[in-house]
């Protein structure tokens, strides 16, 4: 995944949200919807993603890249 990629929100668990102090995507995103990555922040044990037009940082495991 990289900035500009389209991703589908798969849903998230409490553990995924807490890991790396992420924001809870279930409060602002709709499961199954497609979003565009604004930025990707890679860490040793997890990756955070930022979405265009959405405030917050989210665990990358809550998303699947949508291929063209």
Written as tens digits, the pLDDT of the chain (68 aa) is 888 999 999 999 888 888 778 999 988 999 999 999 999 998 888 889 999 999 999 999 999 999 86
Distances, alpha carbon 1 to alpha carbons 9, 14, 27, 61, in Å: 13, 23, 23, 11
Tell me the pTM. Answer: 0.88
Q: What is the pLDDT of residue 11?
A: 93
Q: What is the pLDDT of residue 13?
A: 86
> Is the sign of the CA dihedral 62, 28, 43, 2 positive or negative?
positive
């Amino acid at each position: 995944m990289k900035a500009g990629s389209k991703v589908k929100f798969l849903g998230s668990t409490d553990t995924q949200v807490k890991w790396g102090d992420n924001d809870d995507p279930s409060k602002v995103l709709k499961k199954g919807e497609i979003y565009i990555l604004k930025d990707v922040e890679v860490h040793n044990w997890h990756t955070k993603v930022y979405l265009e037009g959405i405030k917050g940082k989210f665990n990358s495991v809550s998303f699947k890249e949508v291929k063209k």
